[in-house]
């Protein structure tokens, strides 16, 4: 028993003191561990807590035409950004965010989850090109939804109504697929990159380098200060070889039609115009293309997304006869070939008809070209054989990619015995050669291939690589300039060259196949073609349905030798080449008219003086009022202080 | 028996150290809330401290022995107030802890019950006449603390309920706990805790409580929840380094509630290892001074009262600082004397008043 005054055990009180001491030593150790041993780690963790990198988006480079006129520009727009480095419950806020930005809440949640494994500093681009009321929603909810932010982006402004859409292409957010490909390894998720056309081909040049802004933030994600800014490096501007004036002419020619028009300078390979129809409006996808809209474009039988100039593989029809003529001449057969056309002929036990049912009568090479006699070329094909035809066609680039600087060009097919065995494990039948002679059968080429081949023939064998930018205008390192200046010489006998081009110049004359396309005063040489997509018999069974109508072709150039411009027209469902020829001559006429308008030689502006000396010659009646006499003189002109504005007009475009 | 008490016997040294700690607390509250909606909280804290000191002087005048004689009434009143909370309490953030008082004040009975328990336990063990603790005595002591503790758990307020434990533990320890009893209790507690955690059918802990505890074990599991708080607290403390820094964690609002539960983290960030260790030393001096007062107490009851205060204070420091440095789970226990909050400050000063009360009567008997 204890007495009332007996004290509590002294030992236990001391023990309690030691226990307290123990507790304090443990706590002191905890502080020492964090603040002395690991303070470096926590100091950097605190740094990371405070600094947020906000991207500053670089504008893409402008796209200009060959004269420096703007085709594609940018306009400022706001994107809604979801920052992931705050402590907010993003999934919990998804409903409100989706409501305010007019998005599907499930999609928002899915995107947040999709990004869960990405680094925290990487924001999610929720919506691009937000409307003013969505911008207002974000501003009004700065406190409730601090994770929601906006960023100014430069959006692409393309010409309206699909003007030049196939050549230019369009941009879009880089896809998961692309990110997995090695050539896109430098791209980040969320980057806007070129998806097609020039935008894709020259993406590295056009795309700038994004900068970033280091912002001091608190744990609610509110910016409380700025540390520094790495400026965005804008993309380089790109000058195309295309001439807007010519492009407009080509667009107008093909308006409402299926097909393609390509115009090229045969000396350099510079593409002057390229249209594919029907077109699409790239502005529709610049922001967000709806599923319906996309499906409509993809399932449209007229394939508006296809750049038919480089992606349509079709039988060249009678235009192929020019290649046949060159092959026949080089082999010494065509120049001496005389055929009597009776509207058809029998080869290898089968009758092959000529497009003129009554026949052309006696035909030589010249008439065979401007009258497009099938029987002549059947005969020539039989004499040449498929391998000799293939040799020349291949040398002129048919059945191969031209190497044009646009993505997804297709190769087409130039058949040969070897080709047949390789692809079909079958021997070539001699009868197949006959169809090839008039550009039917297995031959499938793209408009740009045909353009290049005919261009080479018009130049006496000088074959260039088509391209849409002038490598000289591009900073070194972005483009393999050598690729586009490469010239191949196909040996063509000068006499054959003269003969064939002379014959071609008669195609648009009254005796030719396309007299209606004749333009007085312009020396146009060319060749029409109408290619069946099914045999005439089959087409008859479908009651001559328009879907099976023949494709009209025309390849023409001016002047007839060493021309300034070559134009190839594919008019799908155009029935006859003469209709295609009219489209081509519209473009050629626009070209020639422009050449007449543009002074060929300009006086160079003096650097120091405000005046210019001009020497001139003129005639005027003599002093007796009779005979005209030649006079000469020197003029000193004052130069205007400001350069005169050059009027420029292009649909859907601003300067 | 002359019952003359004098303020000469008041522990002015203890009060001095206590006020230094309070002063550091007020400073840190000012710094941590400067740019937040709690700005000005440090002024309120000064008022609470002044009120606390006043209450301390008042309670030191009432003879603790007289209080102990009436403790059963206080105990009944305490349990009744806890019952009132459960029945009529104000629900706030999922827990009923407060009763609305006239005049817009909130009354949190669980704080005062702490004080009553210190006295009740002291009374119980002071009246015990055995040198060694028997099992029935142990069970009775456990029941005295256990009943209000279960009621607080029911609110639910795990943190406060846990602070009742050290009162019982200290009483039992000083009251003559035997080694075998200690081991048995430790074993049962271990098994019990295991059951609470690993048998899903046992719903003693709320899910947020479990989450706090599991995220303590693996903070990576829940970076945005309580694990996040511990992580931010560790970053704050660690980035303070040896001499302290600008306090970006505190001022950037990365640190949760830097003026209450995480005030020590905020202080450590701004004043470094040197400052934090200094504060720990101040607390240690206070605790040693208190145990010294317990030793010089006029009777067993006095010793138990003072050591009860020591137990509660040590436990608060252990759990709060332990949480701040990442050794303990987040339980919502404030750091006495430093953390912002009227209830906490008043409780501490009333408890110190009891200590003064005992000390001033050390020569009386």
For A518-536, the pLDDT digits (tens) are 988 899 999 999 887 765 5
Lowest-confidence pick of A7-21, A465-479, A576-590: A465-479
* Span A13-36, average pLDDT: 93
Which of B133, B216, B252 is best to mutate for the A interface (most A CBs within 10 A)? B252
Q: Has residue A155 got a pLDDT over 90?
A: no
Compute how many other C-beta atoms are within 10 angstroms of the C-beta atom of residue A81.
21
What own/partner pairs with CB < 8 Å and gap ≥ 24 does B132-139 have? B132/B176, B132/B178, B133/B172, B133/B175, B133/B176, B133/B177, B133/B178, B133/B181, B135/B181, B137/B175, B138/B172, B138/B177, B138/B181
The domain locations on chain A are: 52-239, 244-597
For residue A626, how many C-alpha atoms fall within 13 Å in the half-sphere facing its CB?
2
**Shortest CB distance from A2 goes to which of B129, B174, B280?**
B129
Q: Has residue A633 got a pLDDT over 90?
A: no
Q: List, for residues A411-445, the tens digit of each pLDDT value.
A: 999 999 999 999 888 899 888 999 999 999 889 99
* Span A489-502, average pLDDT: 94
Q: Has residue B124 got a pLDDT over 70?
A: yes
pLDDT higher at B258 or B80: B80
Compute how many other C-beta atoms are within 10 angstroms of the C-beta atom of residue A239.
20
* Span B146-175, average pLDDT: 88
Q: Inter-chain contact B129–A46, Cβ cutoff 8 Å?
A: no
Q: Inter-chain contact B318–A27, Cβ cutoff 8 Å?
A: yes
- Give the predicted TM-score (pTM) of the model: 0.59
Q: Has residue A187 got a pLDDT over 90?
A: no
What is the distance in angstroms between the Cα of A400 and the nearest Cα belonging to chain B? Answer: 58
**Shortest CB distance from B252 goes to which of A1, A34, A218?**
A218
| pLDDT of res. A649 | 38
Q: List, for residues B303-337, the tens digit of each pLDDT value.
A: 999 999 999 999 999 999 999 998 888 877 899 99
H/E run at residue B100: strand B95-100
Compute how many other C-beta atoms are within 10 angstroms of the C-beta atom of residue A132.
8
d(C-alpha A507, C-alpha A502), whole Å: 9
Q: Has residue B23 got a pLDDT over 60?
A: yes
Q: Quick check: is B325 in a domain? A: yes
State in words which class domain A244-597 has.
alpha beta
Helices (H), B241-299: 248-251, 263-295
d(C-alpha B4, C-alpha B365), whole Å: 11
Domain span at residue B130 reads 73-333
Q: Has residue A652 got a pLDDT over 50?
A: no
Q: Which residue carries 């608190």 as its tokens? A: A218
pLDDT band at A286 (very low <50, low <70, confident <90, very high): low
Q: List, for residues A204-251, the tens digit of each pLDDT value.
A: 889 888 887 777 766 556 666 676 778 888 899 999 999 999 999 999
| pLDDT of res. A103 | 86
Q: List, for residues A262-277, the tens digit of each pLDDT value.
A: 999 999 999 999 999 8
Q: Inter-chain contact A9–B236, Cβ cutoff 8 Å?
A: no
CATH number, span A52-239: 3.90.1310.10
pLDDT band at A547 (very low <50, low <70, confident <90, very high): low
pLDDT band at A651 (very low <50, low <70, confident <90, very high): very low
Under 8 Å between Cβ of A212 and A54: yes
* Span A177-193, average pLDDT: 73
pLDDT band at A655 (very low <50, low <70, confident <90, very high): very low
d(C-alpha A315, C-alpha A296), whole Å: 27
Instruction: Please give the residue of chain B at the shortest CA–CA distance from A10.
Output: B295
Question: Cα B1 to the chain's mean position, in Å?
Answer: 36
Q: Has residue A358 got a pLDDT over 70?
A: yes
Q: Inter-chain contact A41–B238, Cβ cutoff 8 Å?
A: yes
Q: Has residue B32 got a pLDDT over 90?
A: no
| pLDDT of res. A646 | 44
Q: Inter-chain contact A12–B174, Cβ cutoff 8 Å?
A: yes
Q: Quick check: is B350 in a domain? A: no
Lowest-confidence pick of A223-227, A577-581, A605-609: A605-609
What ipTM, to 2 d.p.?
Answer: 0.91
* Span B180-186, average pLDDT: 88
Lowest-confidence pick of A292-296, B216-220, B346-350: B216-220
What is the distance in angstroms between the Cα of B349 and the nearest Cα belonging to chain A? Answer: 21
What mean pLDDT, rounded, does chain A reach? 84
Lowest-confidence pick of A36-40, A364-368, B254-258: B254-258
Chain A residues in contact with B130 (beta carbon < 8 A):
1-2
| pLDDT of res. A537 | 57
Q: List, for residues B260-283, the tens digit of each pLDDT value.
A: 889 999 999 999 999 999 999 999
**Percent of chain A with pLDDT strictly greater than 90:** 43
Smallest CA-to-CA distance from B62 within B356, B300, B313 is with B356
**Shortest CB distance from B248 goes to which of A1, A20, A46?**
A46
Q: Based on the structure, what is the number of domains in chain B?
A: 1
């Amino acid at each position: 028993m204890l007495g009332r005054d007996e004290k509590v055990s002294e030992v236990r009180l001391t023990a309690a003191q030691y226990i307290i001491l123990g507790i304090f030593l443990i706590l002191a150790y905890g502080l020492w561990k964090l603040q002395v041993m690991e303070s470096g780690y926590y100091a950097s963790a605190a740094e990371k807590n405070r600094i947020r990198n906000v991207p500053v988006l670089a504008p893409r480079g402008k796209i200009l035409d060959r004269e420096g006129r703007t085709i594609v520009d940018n306009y400022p727009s706001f994107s809604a950004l979801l920052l992931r480095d705050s402590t907010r419950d993003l999934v919990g806020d998804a409903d409100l965010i989706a409501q305010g930005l007019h998005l599907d809440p499930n999609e928002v949640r899915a995107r947040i989850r999709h990004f869960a494994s990405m680094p925290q500093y990487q924001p999610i681009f929720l919506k691009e090109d937000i409307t003013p009321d969505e911008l207002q929603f974000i501003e009004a909810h700065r406190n409730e939804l601090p994770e929601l932010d906006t960023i100014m982006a430069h959006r692409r402004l393309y010409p309206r109504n699909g003007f030049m859409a196939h050549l230019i292409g369009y941009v879009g957010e880089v896809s998961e697929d692309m990110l997995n490909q090695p050539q896109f390894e430098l791209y980040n998720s969320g980057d806007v990159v070129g998806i097609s056309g020039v935008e894709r081909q020259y993406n590295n040049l056009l795309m700038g380098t994004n900068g970033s802004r280091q912002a001091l933030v608190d744990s609610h994600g509110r910016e409380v200060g700025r540390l520094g800014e790495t400026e965005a490096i804008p993309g380089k501007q790109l000058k195309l070889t295309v001439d807007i004036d010519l492009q407009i002419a080509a667009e107008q020619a093909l308006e409402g039609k299926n097909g393609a028009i390509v115009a090229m300078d045969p000396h350099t390979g510079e593409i002057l115009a390229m249209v594919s129809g029907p077109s699409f409006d790239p502005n529709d996808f610049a922001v967000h293309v709806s599923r319906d809209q996309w499906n409509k474009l993809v399932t449209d039988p007229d394939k508006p997304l296809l750049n038919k100039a480089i992606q349509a593989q079709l039988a060249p029809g009678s235009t192929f006869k020019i290649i046949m003529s060159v092959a026949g001449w080089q082999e010494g057969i065509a120049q001496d070939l005389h055929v009597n056309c009776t509207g058809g002929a029998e080869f290898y036990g089968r009758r092959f008809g000529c497009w003129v049912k009554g026949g052309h009568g006696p035909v030589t090479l010249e008439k065979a070209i401007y009258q497009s006699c099938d029987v002549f070329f059947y005969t020539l094909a039989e004499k040449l054989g498929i391998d000799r035809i293939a040799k020349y066609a291949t040398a002129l680039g048919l059945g191969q990619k031209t190497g044009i600087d646009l993505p997804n060009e297709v190769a087409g097919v130039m058949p040969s015995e070897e080709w047949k065995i390789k692809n079909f494990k079958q021997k070539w039948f001699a009868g197949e050669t006959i169809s090839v002679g008039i550009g039917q059968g297995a031959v499938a080429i793209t408009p740009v291939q045909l353009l290049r081949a005919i261009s080479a023939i018009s130049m006496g064998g000088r074959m260039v690589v088509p391209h849409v930018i002038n490598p000289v205008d591009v900073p070194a390192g972005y483009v393999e300039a050598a690729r586009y200046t490469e010239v191949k010489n196909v040996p063509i006998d000068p006499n054959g060259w003269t003969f064939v081009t002379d014959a071609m110049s008669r195609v648009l004359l009254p005796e030719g196949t396309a007299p209606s396309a004749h333009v007085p005063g312009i020396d146009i040489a060319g060749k029409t073609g109408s290619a069946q997509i099914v045999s005439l018999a089959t087409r008859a069974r479908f009651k001559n349905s328009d879907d099976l109508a023949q494709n009209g072709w025309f390849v023409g150039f001016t002047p007839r030798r060493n021309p300034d411009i070559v134009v190839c027209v594919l008019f799908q469902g155009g029935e006859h080449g003469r209709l295609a020829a009219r489209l081509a001559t519209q473009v050629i006429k626009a070209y020639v008219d422009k050449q007449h308008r543009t002074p060929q030689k300009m006086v160079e502006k003096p650097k120091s003086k405000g005046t210019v000396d001009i020497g001139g010659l003129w005639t005027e009646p003599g002093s007796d009022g009779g005979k005209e006499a030649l006079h000469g003189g020197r003029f000193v002109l004052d130069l205007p202080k400001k350069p005169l504005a050059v009027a420029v007009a292009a649909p859907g475009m601003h300067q | 028996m002359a019952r003359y008490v004098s303020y000469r016997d008041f522990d002015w040294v203890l009060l001095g150290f206590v006020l230094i700690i309070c002063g550091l607390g007020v400073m840190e509250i000012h710094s941590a809330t400067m740019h937040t909606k709690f700005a000005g909280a440090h002024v309120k804290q000064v008022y609470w401290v002044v009120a606390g000191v006043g209450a301390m002087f008042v309670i030191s005048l009432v003879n603790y022995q007289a209080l102990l004689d009436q403790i059963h009434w206080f105990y009944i009143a305490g349990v009744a107030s806890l019952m009132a909370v459960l029945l009529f309490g104000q629900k706030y953030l999922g827990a009923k802890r407060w009763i609305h008082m006239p005049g817009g004040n909130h009354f949190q009975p669980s704080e005062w019950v702490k004080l009553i328990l210190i006295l009740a336990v002291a009374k119980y063990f002071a009246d015990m006449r055995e040198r060694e603790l028997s099992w029935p005595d142990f069970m009775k002591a456990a029941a005295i603390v256990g009943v209000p503790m279960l009621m607080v758990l029911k609110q639910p307020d795990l943190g406060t309920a846990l602070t009742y434990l050290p009162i019982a533990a200290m009483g039992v320890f000083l009251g003559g706990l035997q080694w075998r009893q200690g081991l048995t209790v430790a074993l049962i507690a271990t098994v019990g805790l295991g059951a609470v955690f690993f048998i899903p059918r046992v719903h003693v802990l709320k899910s947020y409580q479990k989450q706090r505890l599991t995220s303590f074990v693996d903070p990576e599991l829940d970076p945005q929840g309580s694990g996040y708080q511990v992580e931010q607290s560790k970053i704050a403390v660690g980035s303070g380094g040896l001499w302290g820094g600008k306090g970006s964690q505190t001022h950037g609002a990365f640190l949760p509630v830097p003026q209450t539960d995480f005030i020590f983290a905020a202080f450590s960030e701004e004043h470094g290892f040197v400052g934090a260790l200094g504060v720990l030393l101040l607390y240690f001096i206070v605790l040693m001074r208190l145990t010294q007062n317990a030793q010089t107490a006029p009777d067993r009851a006095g010793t138990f009262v003072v050591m009860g205060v020591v137990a509660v204070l040590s436990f608060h420091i252990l759990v709060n600082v332990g949480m701040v440095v990442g050794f303990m789970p987040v339980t919502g226990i404030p750091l006495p004397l430093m953390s912002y909050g009227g209830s906490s400050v008043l409780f501490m000063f009333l408890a110190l008043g009891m200590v003064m009360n005992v000390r001033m009567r050390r020569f009386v008997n």
